[in-house]
Structure 1
Amino acid sequence: MVFVSIQDLEAAINYWRTQSPSKGDELVLSKEAGALAKPYALMIIQGAQRLPIEALSDNAKLAWAEYLQNRDRYGAGQ
């Protein structure tokens, strides 16, 4: 089983926030950042340090996969 850590999920959210900043007075997250924000919030509430990839929604899996493809250019851990 493959897992994603809370730190890696946070890095992916930050990646998407730089690629597509929040918009409007409400500061709405992009589709990708929003898809990753829900499991991230649940992990914080539950005190979890990692989550099985299979637990991510389809949109979150797509956002995660695209982040993985581009993180070397972005700079892992930023």
Structure 2
Amino acid sequence: MNDDPAVPETGTYAVDHRDGSVGEVMGCEGGLVQLRPIGGGREWDCPPGSVGDAPAGEVLRLRVRELNRQVQERPR
């Protein structure tokens, strides 16, 4: 649980309003929210004032895209 209500809970999805990127909240370090792209990848830092709840439809779209990518990479 976070002490700062501006910081989303770890494990939830958030949008970085600076560029519209959506990521999973990995934690808060040094006063910055750490986000990771859906499906993995390099984390990035976002000021708490620039992060907000990600729209459920956008999260679903990105998760489906990632699942489709994984299925296509499987050997047949």
TM-score relative to the length of structure 2: 0.28
TM-score relative to the length of structure 1: 0.28
The answer to which structure has the higher strand fraction is 2
Bigger radius of gyration: 2
The answer to which structure has the higher helix fraction is 1
Instruction: For CA contacts below 8 A with separation 6 or more, give which structure has more relative contact order.
Output: 1
